[in-house]
Structure 1
Amino acid sequence: MQNVEVSTGELEQDPHAALAAMRTAGPVAWVESLGAWVVTTREMAMRVMRDPETFTVDDPRFSTAQVVGPSMLSLDHADHARHRDPFEAPFGLAQTRERFTAFVEAETDRLVSAIEPLGRADLRRAVAGPLSVAVVADSLGLPGTDPATVLDWYDAISASVTGVSAGCPVTAAGGEAFDLLYAHVAKAIATGKVDSSLVAHAAQAGLDTDAVVANAAVLMFGGIETTEGMITNALWHLLTNQDQLELVRADPELLANAIEESLRLEPAAATVDRYATRDVELGGATIRQGDLVTVSLAGANRDPAVFPSPDSYDVRRPNARRHLAFASGPHICLGMHLARLEAQTALRHLLTRLPDLRLDPSGPSPAPHGLVFRKPRTIPALWSHPSPHRPKP
């Protein structure tokens, strides 16, 4: 058994050197600071995520379920399918493009237009965050849930989930926010005052109110946290790799792959947790029933057996889309098509409409940070004042 001594602080700041060292010694290692087996190769990560019989999310320790109740995120097998299936069709590729493209384009245009004349802004706070919140608010389709309301709920619920993960009880603010979300959803379902939203679709598909609310909370959390991280991480990679940025400017068709390569290098969700349902041998490690098994998506995405020069940001990397940033198996990210739509739209507008876009050298360091969810705290950016006649994308 490989035991690794690494602090959570080191993993929060920059986990990649430690993950590389673990991977060199073996695909699975025990990390005492996490109280978990950590999986660092792509092959083993796929094996764990695609085997819910052996590695499950359905465990009382799962923090999100303690705050919002059982949902597609914390259930497996038939119960998982019952919760997830009503949301599958609305989040398909064609349906996502049809339902969300016009809204995402309009909202991105509004946000970029607001900062365009300024010449400087924190692109996380001004564009990435507000866009992800607005899309979630629109997708929920509930009366009274404007972006500010959704953001308030998200902040309180996500803080409570984070606290539970650290061994703290559910916070009063988190409980109150969930109660408010529950009240809005229950009232909308009871009165029929929902549009063609995800909530309406799930209710019509037969999910009871408890299940609809729990899954709405999960979608709210995932839709805001990981999409904001996806956009800000892609901005950080491009703005700190001038040669790669110039390649994208010269050939805009590379933008989609540039975002995939950013997802590979720095997935917004760096880890996913599973719990062993039985004693099992995995990658040379003896895992006991009930043990926590943490799949490092960040580690798997830099597996040199799959990705040559894994620490390099290469917008032309031919297999960038083999990353596991959206996980794999039955719990693969439901909203990955929507997240890609938002990221590609945001990056296209920003790179096209803000001439000479660059990081503000006087601002704080924007390097990604976080143990589970990784993104820059800020993207302080500068650009030249655009021509008033510059065409929009």
Structure 2
Amino acid sequence: MLVRVMDEPTSRFPIGRTATVAALEGDPHPLLARLRADEPVSWLPALDGWLVTSHALAVRVMRDAAAFTVDDPRFSTSRLVGPSMLSLDGRTHTRHREPFARPFRPARTRERFTAFVEAEVERLVTGLAPAGRAELRGAFAGPLAVGVVAEALGLDGVDAATIRSWYGTFVDAVSELTAGGGVPEPSREAYGRLREAVEAAIAVPGSASLLAEAAHQEEGLTPAEVVSNAAVLMFGGIDTTEGMIANAALHLLGDPAGLDAVRADRAPLDNAIEESLRLEPSASVVDRYATRDVEIGGAPVRKGDLVRVSIAGANRDPAVFPEPDLFDVRRSNAADHLAFAHGPHFCFGAHLARLEARTALAALLERLPGLRLDPDRDAAARGLVFRKPTELHVVWDV
């Protein structure tokens, strides 16, 4: 890899050459805009790979699994949990994915989860209402996402706090790996405890849990494969959904005109959620590896190179979204974002995540009169891979 980079004139990617992890973790959007305009596929030494920021080129990379694969031993999630639907392609990917994807198709999602999500949201909002203030990510968005995943996985005997602690260590580990570090020991320990819980769940005779169902489908997943995919579901079902809800609340409460429109008529709420996903996707990058030499966006990508797709960059491409830095609850093409990825690795939990977000935001606006951001506490999304506010303090009238 070092020989390949040295062969390239460093002057060819001056913006990428000076990019830092700190800039990508904080407010990356000015940097991503410069890259997208001048170096839509740029080499970033800080990431030891290419970064794609154009919407069209991002779609191309994610759609073409033959040229840009996730099946590489360097893939961060596979280094943490082993092979899973997230780190495999082709027929093997389908074998891992389908047993878990079937229960999350739209009709089954509505049938299986609507009542549970509504009840969980009601429970959480009822607990918050008397206080007049809360840190919304920790007291609402996170517990909701954890509760839904716990229900879906059917890990009997494992409380939500334990599940949340596990996924927290996994998220930290992925961020550490993405920044060039190793697998932290706490994540290895958490994965061992998850493995024990999953193996116990699938061994229960007659269990109707998602894990037991996946373990006994015709695809014939092994217990180890069920465990690795359960960990992947935690990423999609907890961290990104928590971030999706927190980011949507931050954007909506920070936009008086949009908030008034949604309060007057719930019809724009779904589009407001899509617009928030566009403006600040809770999972900001996805990784691929080139399977052959290929030129993309004028960049000479070589076989084996890391090609990192910036969902955050693609979602603010002015060629697709006019005034891309503006939060507009009535944007006509907001749903053209790539927050749930694209191609064979499109997130099959998107329907459930949208159900959670819509139910959550509607209840917050209905049950907490005058809900607004706490003027004394700043909030902004941050993170290299998973982006959301560290804390989201809100107040309302009681």
Contact conserved, 1:302 with 1:310, CA < 8 A, in 2? Answer: yes
Give the CA deviation at 1:184.
Answer: 1.5
Partner of 1:355: 369
- Residue by residue, what CA displacement relative to the aligned partner does 1:205-244 show, whole Å, maximum 9, x if unpaired? 1211011000001001221110000000001101111111
TM-score using structure 2 length? 0.94
Which SS does the other structure have where 1:29 is aligned?
strand
Equivalent position of 2:272 in the other structure: 258
Post-superposition offset of 1:24: 1.2
1:272 correspondence with 2:286 = yes
Query: How many angstroms does 1:189 deviate by?
Result: 2.0
Cα-Cα RMSD: 1.2
Distance between the aligned counterparts of 1:163 and 1:307, measured in 2?
32
* More displaced stretch, 33-42 vs 72-81: 33-42
Distance in 2 (alpha carbons) for counterparts of 1:155 and 1:169: 16
Q: Secondary structure of the residue that 2:87 maps to in structure 1?
A: coil
Matches of 2:183 and 2:117, distance apart in 1? 34
2:250 pairs with 1:239: no
Q: Take 2:104 and 2:276, find their aligned partners in 1: how far apart are those partners? A: 23
Give the conservation status (yes or no) of the 8 Å contact 1:143–1:193: no
Decide which moves more: 184-193 or 139-148. Answer: 184-193
Q: In the superposition, relative to structure 1, how do residues 170 and 229 fare at CA in structure 2: closer, same or farther (>3 Å)?
A: same
- Compute the displacement of 1:193 (Å): 6.2
TM-superposed deviation, 1:11: 1.4
Instruction: Report which stretch shifted further, 47-56 or 161-170.
Output: 161-170
Is the 1:58–1:76 contact (alpha carbons within 8 Å) kept by the matching residues of 2?
yes
- 1:148 Cα deviation from its structure 2 partner: 1.6
User: Amino acid of the residue matched to residue 147 of structure 2?
Assistant: A
Q: Provide runs of 4+ in structure 1 moved above 6 Å.
A: none
Instruction: State the match for 2:142 in structure 1.
Output: 129
Aligned residues between the structures: 383
Equivalent of 2:212 in 170, 181, 200: 200
Shift of 1:186: 1.4
Instruction: State the Cα distance separating 1:172 from its structure 2 match.
Output: 2.6
Query: 2: CA distance between counterparts of 1:107 and 1:163?
Result: 32
- 1:380 to partner: Cα distance: 0.6
Q: Distance in 1 between matches of 2:201 and 2:336?
A: 40
Partner-residue secondary structure (3-state), 1:202: helix
What SS does the corresponding residue of 1:168 show, helix, strand or coil?
Answer: coil
Task: Specify whether residues 342 and 349 from structure 1 end up closer, same or farther in structure 2 by C-alpha distance, changes over 3 A only.
Answer: same
- Tell me the distance in 2 between the aligned counterparts of 1:173 and 1:30: 32
Code of the aligned partner of 2:14? N
Residue ranges of structure 1 left out of the alignment (5+ in a row): 386-393
Secondary structure of the corresponding residue to residue 381 of structure 1: strand
Q: Which runs of 5+ in 2 are unaligned?
A: 1-11
* C-alpha contact 2:42 2:51 (8 A) present in aligned 1: yes
Partner-residue secondary structure (3-state), 1:111: helix
TM-score (norm 1): 0.95
Report matched runs for 1:149-164 at 5 Å.
Answer: 149-164=162-177
Q: 1:162 to 1:97 in 2, by over 3 A?
A: same
Is 1:40 aligned to 2:53, yes or no?
yes
1:8 and 1:163 mapped to 2: Cα distance?
A: 11
Which residue, 297, 319, 327 being the options, matches 2:311?
297
CA distance in 2, matches of 1:97, 1:211: 27
